[in-house]
Amino acid sequence: MNIVERAKAPTPKFFKVLRSIGMALLAISGSIIAAPVVLPVAVVSIAGYAALAGGVISVISQITVDDEANRERSIANQLKKDNQNLPRDGIK
Protein backbone atom coordinates (compact mmCIF):
# COMPACT_ATOMS: atom_id res chain seq x y z
CA MET A 1 0.00 0.00 0.00
CA ASN A 2 1.59 3.27 -1.07
CA ILE A 3 1.22 6.69 0.58
CA VAL A 4 -1.62 7.88 -1.67
CA GLU A 5 -3.67 4.74 -0.99
CA ARG A 6 -3.01 5.10 2.74
CA ALA A 7 -4.14 8.73 2.69
CA LYS A 8 -7.37 7.80 0.88
CA ALA A 9 -8.12 4.80 3.11
CA PRO A 10 -10.49 5.13 6.10
CA THR A 11 -8.97 6.53 9.30
CA PRO A 12 -9.88 5.23 12.80
CA LYS A 13 -11.95 7.57 14.97
CA PHE A 14 -9.18 8.16 17.54
CA PHE A 15 -6.79 9.31 14.85
CA LYS A 16 -9.44 11.59 13.32
CA VAL A 17 -9.67 13.36 16.68
CA LEU A 18 -5.88 13.44 16.98
CA ARG A 19 -5.63 14.88 13.44
CA SER A 20 -8.08 17.65 14.37
CA ILE A 21 -6.05 18.48 17.49
CA GLY A 22 -2.87 18.62 15.41
CA MET A 23 -4.49 20.93 12.86
CA ALA A 24 -5.74 23.23 15.64
CA LEU A 25 -2.27 23.30 17.18
CA LEU A 26 -0.81 24.14 13.77
CA ALA A 27 -3.33 26.94 13.19
CA ILE A 28 -2.83 28.53 16.61
CA SER A 29 0.94 28.42 16.40
CA GLY A 30 0.84 29.77 12.84
CA SER A 31 -1.19 32.75 13.95
CA ILE A 32 1.23 33.41 16.81
CA ILE A 33 4.20 33.27 14.44
CA ALA A 34 2.51 35.61 11.95
CA ALA A 35 1.28 38.09 14.58
CA PRO A 36 1.82 41.71 13.53
CA VAL A 37 2.99 42.66 17.03
CA VAL A 38 6.43 42.01 18.46
CA LEU A 39 6.36 38.98 20.72
CA PRO A 40 9.16 37.63 22.91
CA VAL A 41 11.60 35.31 21.18
CA ALA A 42 10.70 32.45 23.52
CA VAL A 43 7.00 32.64 22.56
CA VAL A 44 7.78 32.63 18.83
CA SER A 45 10.26 29.79 19.30
CA ILE A 46 7.73 27.68 21.20
CA ALA A 47 5.12 28.43 18.54
CA GLY A 48 7.53 27.16 15.89
CA TYR A 49 8.00 23.88 17.74
CA ALA A 50 4.24 23.61 18.28
CA ALA A 51 3.67 24.11 14.54
CA LEU A 52 6.13 21.32 13.80
CA ALA A 53 4.48 19.01 16.32
CA GLY A 54 0.99 19.81 14.98
CA GLY A 55 2.07 19.09 11.43
CA VAL A 56 3.69 15.78 12.34
CA ILE A 57 0.67 14.69 14.42
CA SER A 58 -1.69 15.54 11.57
CA VAL A 59 0.32 13.74 8.90
CA ILE A 60 0.86 10.59 10.95
CA SER A 61 -2.81 10.52 11.93
CA GLN A 62 -3.92 10.90 8.31
CA ILE A 63 -1.90 7.94 7.03
CA THR A 64 -3.10 5.59 9.78
CA VAL A 65 -5.47 3.03 8.25
CA ASP A 66 -8.52 1.33 9.75
CA ASP A 67 -7.97 -2.22 8.45
CA GLU A 68 -11.51 -3.41 9.19
CA ALA A 69 -13.17 -0.57 7.29
CA ASN A 70 -10.62 -0.94 4.51
CA ARG A 71 -11.45 -4.66 4.21
CA GLU A 72 -15.19 -3.93 4.13
CA ARG A 73 -14.69 -1.30 1.45
CA SER A 74 -12.59 -3.67 -0.70
CA ILE A 75 -15.25 -6.42 -0.37
CA ALA A 76 -17.99 -3.97 -1.37
CA ASN A 77 -15.94 -2.82 -4.37
CA GLN A 78 -15.34 -6.44 -5.42
CA LEU A 79 -19.07 -7.25 -5.15
CA LYS A 80 -19.92 -4.16 -7.18
CA LYS A 81 -17.42 -5.22 -9.84
CA ASP A 82 -18.73 -8.79 -9.88
CA ASN A 83 -22.37 -7.65 -10.20
CA GLN A 84 -21.66 -5.09 -12.88
CA ASN A 85 -22.40 -7.38 -15.85
CA LEU A 86 -25.34 -9.31 -14.39
CA PRO A 87 -28.75 -8.80 -16.01
CA ARG A 88 -30.98 -6.31 -14.19
CA ASP A 89 -34.26 -8.23 -14.61
CA GLY A 90 -33.34 -10.97 -12.13
CA ILE A 91 -33.01 -13.71 -14.76
CA LYS A 92 -29.70 -15.48 -14.79
SS (H, E, C) the chain: CCHHHHHHCCCCHHHHHHHHHHHHHHHHHHHHHCCCCCCCHHHHHHHHHHHHHHHHHHHHHHCCCCHHHHHHHHHHHHHHHHCCCCCCCCCC
Kindly give the parts of the chain with pLDDT less than 70. 87-92
Model's pTM, two decimal places?
Answer: 0.69
Q: What distance in Å separates the CA atoms of residue 53 and residue 40, rounded to the nearest whole number?
A: 20
Percent of the chain with pLDDT over 90: 51
Domain ranges of the chain: 3-72
